[in-house]
Amino acid sequence: MYEKFYGLREPAFNLTPDPTFLFLNKRSKDALDQILYGIERREGFAVIVGDIGTGKTTMCWALLERLARKDIRTAMIQNPMLSELDILRSILQDFGVRPKRKQPSLDFDGLGDETKEIFDADWMEGMSKKQLLDRLNMFLAERAQENVFSVLIVDEAQNVSTTLLEQLRLLSNLETAKKKLIQIIFVGQLELNQKLKALSMRQLNQRISVRFETKTLSREDTERYIRHRLAVAGGAPRLRFGSGTFRAVWRYSRGYPRMINLICDRALLAGYAERAAVITPRLVRKGALALKGLEDAGPKLSQGWFRRLMPFLIPAVFLLSVLLFALSKSN
């Protein structure tokens, strides 16, 4: 809507975890490198946890993008509310596993049947959990023989049942003499940490080689993040952020990237409505208030100012009383 007015090529503050907009501060860049290193070294498991809207799914897509290589096969589960069977089916599907069925041989050599891969979208229907797991194991072993290794990313892993988490761990137990067959990255909200600490999860917990927590952004990083997204979206040559505007976005969003996107989007919309070239803290406030329920989600600017004045207020009141007391004495 406002893109044309501000000279943006595309929306800068969409709510999709699009890796082309990926912003990495030093901490998250190091973490991404470490996870990729762990995968290269076939270390087994990595875990990414974080509060809601801090960029976990965005990290997943960034990882998938970096893992798009000929010698790596990837799969990602995004909806672990599915049943265990459905999760297994979706892992197989995402890895591109095909059924192996006996097909009549096309050779006229009279030697009988041969095993062929044929495409049949419903081939997993009716298969038991064991059959699905066996097929997955077979697939992983075959890839390993071709020197292709497999990476599975499980988003929202806090919702995966303990039984299935354990079964996925067992998958990684299967290894050839030299290497593990699968690398798994579990991604989830902070309660995933609790889940992994449970007694039944100890074996998995001990095998996690990289752990990373996505965090809210600092004021400085909030500014970098906004500038970065605007630059990726075309630079916005006709748009300026006034002094104090980044701070206002940071205060209202508390540094949560999803909230930063929402607030910036609404602030730009409010700016466009006024044909304003400069986005001011007032427009940010207007945009933030336009977001339903935001008043409860972040501190109000006025409260921020008040809190900042507090340290000066108490000594000032004290000095004033001393002064008044001295004056009354001198009279």
The residues that touch ligand ATP, with contacts defined as CB under 6 A, are 15-18, 21-23, 50, 52-58, 189, 214, 257-258, 261
- DSSP letters, 7-38, are T-SS-SS-SS--GGG----HHHHHHHHHHHHH
Query: Could you tell which of ligand ATP, Mg ion, none binds residue 15, using a CB distance below 5 to 8 A set by kind?
Result: ligand ATP
Asked if 189 touches Mg ion (CB under 5 A), the answer is no
Provide, rounded to whole angstroms, the least separation between the CB of residue 167 and ligand ATP.
Answer: 23
Taking the least distance from each CB to ligand ATP, the nearer of 129 and 258 is: 258
DSSP strand pairing (149-154 vs 182-188): parallel
Provide, rounded to whole angstroms, the least separation between the CB of residue 254 and Mg ion.
Answer: 18
Query: Could you tell which of Mg ion, ligand ATP, none binds residue 298, using a CB distance below 5 to 8 A set by kind?
Result: none
Query: Could you tell which of Mg ion, ligand ATP, none binds residue 23, using a CB distance below 5 to 8 A set by kind?
Result: ligand ATP
SS3 at position 77:
strand
Provide, rounded to whole angstroms, the least separation between the CB of residue 73 and Mg ion.
Answer: 23
* Contact yes or no for 67/151 (Cβ under 8 A): yes
Taking the least distance from each CB to Mg ion, the nearer of 79 and 303 is: 79
Provide, rounded to whole angstroms, the least separation between the CB of residue 260 and ligand ATP.
Answer: 7
SS3 at position 72:
strand
Provide, rounded to whole angstroms, the least separation between the CB of residue 57 and Mg ion.
Answer: 3
Supply the DSSP symbol for 233.
Answer: T
Q: Which residues of 33-60 are buried (b: 16+ CB within 10 A; e: fewer)?
A: eebeebbeebbbbbbbbbeebbbbbbbb
Asked if 57 touches Mg ion (CB under 5 A), the answer is yes
SS3 at position 273:
helix
Query: Could you tell which of Mg ion, ligand ATP, none binds residue 258, using a CB distance below 5 to 8 A set by kind?
Result: ligand ATP
Q: How buried is 267 (Cβ within 10 angstroms: 0-12 exposed, 13-18 middle, 19+ buried)?
A: buried
Taking the least distance from each CB to Mg ion, the nearer of 56 and 180 is: 56
Taking the least distance from each CB to Mg ion, the nearer of 156 and 245 is: 156
What is the CB neighbour count within 10 angstroms for residue 313? 11
Taking the least distance from each CB to ligand ATP, the nearer of 56 and 89 is: 56
Where would I find the H helices in 41-74? Answer: 56-66
Provide, rounded to whole angstroms, the least separation between the CB of residue 319 and Mg ion.
Answer: 52
Query: Could you tell which of ligand ATP, Mg ion, none binds residue 320, using a CB distance below 5 to 8 A set by kind?
Result: none
Query: Could you tell which of Mg ion, ligand ATP, none binds residue 80, using a CB distance below 5 to 8 A set by kind?
Result: none
Written as six digits, the tokens of 112 are: 């009988």
* Contact yes or no for 233/200 (Cβ under 8 A): no
Binding footprint of Mg ion on the chain (CB under 5 A): 56-57
